[in-house]
């Protein structure tokens, strides 16, 4: 085995979200979340209520099988596990005064199990799971009241779990609200009717809320580290035309604003100009400005792909996941058209480190693919060399970034166990090292099977990247 490429302190693991794994959507006193009314996925319109075709209602039943699943993570040698707390398990409606003890107790049990194996929890407070009541009654984050409700929820979590959870993320992919206002911000007004004024007011409320809970965490326990979480998507100019380079700069700004505010504690000049040019006039109080000064301890992000940008509106077709852009003619793509660019991860790690000089955490990265269960030596498994190649190539680029001097805290690949996809709301877009027997029509035994990549990741962790 060759030499370790990663430091001893580097955290290795996987990342999930409550709505994509837990199921038990109406058990333990849980209220409805916006995920319970989006059976087609976060990019689609909501429906009237929970419907039988919504795979997330049962998901992969982590709510009942967490012990078995965490044991499998431990078998791979995980040192960190990212999961989210379902806000509507703790505050079923979102605006009540008293938390739901049964919901709190569930995460105590999850944390007990992680502790048993020495796996560090990395907890997302809000992962596309706004309580539905907050969406319906308040129009989600458009309403300033959400700041107080969220702070109460976050404080409840810090007080209960803060002594055992040292790393927290405030909002999953906070910049996604630009594209999926309901899924990301619980904004009930249809996207086509939502004004930019209201959208940016909602964003402002989320940024203030994030800063306020960062302060609360530090007050409750100074050893707690709080990070923001953004979609990282390096943008390359489609051509060397300076117009395309400026298009990249503008599109970058639209996204970087979220982490710039989190890290610098104030709106950058380019954002103020954007608001001026667009005639957006935000309600920002003196207290808001003071609150924003409570900056994050680290920056975390998801990385799946890069895209090109162009100043030519005709070139701007709808490539990409949540965010748009132009296809890069030099890159391969996944079965879902997500372009594969391992070097983009090194680029973005360097860009973020140079910009903020804050520790970085890669909290999502992975390949969604259609897997085929086969029998090998009497065991059911998946020979997922395509997934191994994807992750291997990306991790080598993380090692390069470490050589570049970037401070990277850890890597939690997305979906270590197959789960319900956020965009398609189906099972067949699989990311896991662990196969879950459930099909898109909801059938299946939910039995877990180790894929080939399971042993591969265990080797990577054991050798600290030496086996890559
Ligand atoms: C991110 C989300 C995750 C996850 C991932 C993969 O945007 O934070 O929740 O699902 O993308 O996306 P998908 O499930 O659509 O393949």
Q: Relative to the CA of 173, which ligand 1 atom is closest? A: 8
Residues 6+ positions from 368 with CB-CB distance below 8 Å: 334, 335, 336, 338, 415, 421, 429, 430, 431
State yes or no: pLDDT of 317 exceeds 80.
no
Ligand 1 pocket, 414 CB below 6 A?
yes
How confident is the model at residue 325, as a pLDDT? 81
Ligand 1 pocket, 300 CB below 6 A?
no
Ligand 1 pocket, 173 CB below 6 A?
yes
CA of 425 to the centre of ligand 1 (A): 10
Q: Which residue CA neighbors atom 9 of ligand 1 most closely?
A: 422
Ligand 1 pocket, 368 CB below 6 A?
yes
Q: Which residue CA neighbors atom 15 of ligand 1 most closely?
A: 423
CA of 44 to the centre of ligand 1 (A): 14
Give pLDDT tens digits for 24-66.
999 999 999 999 999 999 999 899 999 999 999 999 999 999 9
Residues 6+ positions from 68 with CB-CB distance below 8 Å: 448
State yes or no: pLDDT of 260 exceeds 60.
yes
Ligand 1 pocket, 129 CB below 6 A?
no
At 125, phi and psi to the nearest 5?
Answer: -80, -35
Give pLDDT tens digits for 207-238.
999 999 999 999 999 999 999 999 999 999 99
- The CATH number that domain 11-462 falls under is 3.20.20.80
Q: In whole angstroms, give the CA distance from residue 182 to residue 34.
A: 8
State yes or no: pLDDT of 320 exceeds 60.
no
What percentage of residues in the chain have a pLDDT greater than 70? 98
What are 333's strand-pairing partners?
339
Ligand 1 pocket, 423 CB below 6 A?
yes
How confident is the model at residue 319, as a pLDDT? 52
Helix (H, G, I), strand (E, B) or coil at 312: coil
Q: Relative to the CA of 322, which ligand 1 atom is closest? A: 7
Q: What is the DSSP letter of 25?
A: T
Ligand 1 pocket, 431 CB below 6 A?
no
At 40, phi and psi to the nearest 5?
Answer: -95, 0
User: Domains of the chain: which residue ranges?
Assistant: 11-462
Give pLDDT tens digits for 360-401.
999 999 999 999 999 999 999 999 999 999 999 999 999 999
State yes or no: pLDDT of 124 exceeds 60.
yes
Please give the average per-residue pLDDT across 158-175, as a whole number: 98
Q: Relative to the CA of 128, which ligand 1 atom is closest? A: 9
pTM over 0.95: yes
What percentage of residues in the chain have a pLDDT greater than 90? 95
How confident is the model at residue 265, as a pLDDT? 98
Ligand 1 pocket, 412 CB below 6 A?
no
State yes or no: pLDDT of 313 exceeds 90.
no
How confident is the model at residue 312, as a pLDDT? 87
How confident is the model at residue 111, as a pLDDT? 98
Q: Relative to the CA of 42, which ligand 1 atom is closest? A: 15
Pocket test for ligand 1, best of 365, 368, 422, 440 (most atoms within 8 A of CB): 422
Q: Which residue CA neighbors atom 4 of ligand 1 most closely?
A: 422
Q: In whole angstroms, give the CA distance from residue 150 to residue 161.
A: 16
Please give the average per-residue pLDDT across 118-140, as a whole number: 98
CA of 422 to the centre of ligand 1 (A): 5
State yes or no: pLDDT of 251 exceeds 60.
yes
State yes or no: pLDDT of 244 exceeds 60.
yes
Distance from the first to the final alpha carbon of the chain: 10
Give the confidence band of 19 by pLDDT, cuts at 50, 70, 90. Answer: very high
CA of 424 to the centre of ligand 1 (A): 9
Please give the average per-residue pLDDT across 262-273, as a whole number: 98
How confident is the model at residue 163, as a pLDDT? 97
CA of 376 to the centre of ligand 1 (A): 30
**Residue 364 is a catalytic residue:** yes
Q: Relative to the CA of 429, which ligand 1 atom is closest? A: 16
How confident is the model at residue 372, as a pLDDT? 97
How confident is the model at residue 266, as a pLDDT? 98
Set 159, 364, 375, 403: catalytic member = 364
- Contacts for 55-58 with beta carbons within 8 Å, 24 or more apart? 55/420, 55/425, 55/426, 55/427, 55/438, 55/440, 55/442, 56/19, 56/20, 56/23, 56/25, 56/420, 56/425, 57/23, 57/25, 57/26, 58/23, 58/24, 58/25, 58/442
How confident is the model at residue 49, as a pLDDT? 95
CA of 173 to the centre of ligand 1 (A): 10
Instruction: Rounding to the nearest 10 degrees, give the CA dihedral for residues 74, 76, 78, 81.
Output: -80
State yes or no: pLDDT of 321 exceeds 60.
no
CA of 42 to the centre of ligand 1 (A): 9
């Amino acid at each position: 085995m060759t030499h370790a490429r990663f430091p001893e302190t580097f955290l290795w693991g996987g990342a999930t979200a409550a709505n994509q794994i837990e199921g038990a959507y109406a058990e333990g006193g849980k209220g409805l979340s916006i995920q319970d009314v989006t059976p087609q996925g976060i990019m689609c319109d909501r429906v009237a209520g929970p419907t039988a075709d919504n795979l997330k209602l049962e998901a992969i039943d982590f709510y009942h099988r967490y012990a078995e699943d965490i044991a499998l993570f431990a078998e791979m040698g995980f040192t960190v596990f990212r999961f989210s707390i379902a806000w509507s398990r703790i505050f079923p409606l979102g605006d009540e005064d008293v938390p739901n003890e049964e919901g709190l107790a569930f995460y105590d049990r999850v944390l007990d199990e992680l502790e048993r194996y020495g796996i560090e929890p990395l907890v997302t407070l809000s992962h596309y799971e706004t309580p539905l009541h907050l969406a319906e009654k308040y129009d989600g984050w458009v309403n300033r009241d959400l700041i107080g409700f969220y702070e109460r929820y976050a404080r409840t979590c810090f007080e209960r779990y803060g002594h055992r959870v040292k790393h927290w993320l405030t909002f999953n992919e906070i910049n996604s609200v630009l594209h999926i206002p309901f899924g990301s911000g619980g904004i009930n007004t249809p996207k086509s009717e939502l004004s930019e004024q209201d959208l940016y007011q909602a964003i402002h409320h989320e940024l203030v809320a994030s800063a306020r809970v960062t302060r609360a965490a530090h007050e409750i326990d100074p050893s707690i580290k709080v990070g923001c979480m953004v979609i990282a998507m390096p943008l390359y100019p489609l051509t060397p035309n300076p117009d395309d380079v400026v298009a990249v700069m503008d599109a970058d700004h639209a996204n970087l604003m979220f982490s710039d505010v989190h890290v610098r504690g104030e709106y950058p000049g380019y954002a103020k100009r954007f608001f001026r040019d667009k005639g957006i006039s935000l309600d920002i109080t003196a207290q808001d400005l003071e609150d924003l000064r409570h900056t994050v301890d680290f920056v975390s992000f998801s990385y799946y792909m890069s895209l090109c940008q162009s100043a030519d509106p005709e070139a701007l077709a709808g490539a990409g996941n949540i965010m748009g852009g132009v296809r890069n003619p030099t890159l391969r793509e996944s079965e879902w058209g997500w372009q594969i660019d391992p070097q983009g991860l090194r680029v973005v790690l360097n860009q973020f480190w140079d910009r903020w000089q804050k520790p970085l955490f890669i909290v999502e990265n992975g390949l969604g693919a259609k897997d085929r269960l086969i029998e090998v030596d009497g065991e059911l498994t998946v020979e997922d060399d395509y997934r191994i190649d994807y992750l291997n190539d990306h991790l080598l680029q993380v090692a390069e970034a470490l050589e570049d001097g970037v401070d990277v805290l850890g890597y939690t690949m997305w979906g270590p166990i197959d789960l319900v996809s956020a965009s398609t709301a189906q099972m067949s877009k699989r990311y896991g090292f662990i196969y879950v027997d459930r099909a898109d029509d909801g059938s299946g035994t939910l039995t877990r099977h180790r894929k080939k990549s399971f042993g591969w990741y265990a080797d990577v962790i054991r050798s600290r990247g030496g086996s890559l």
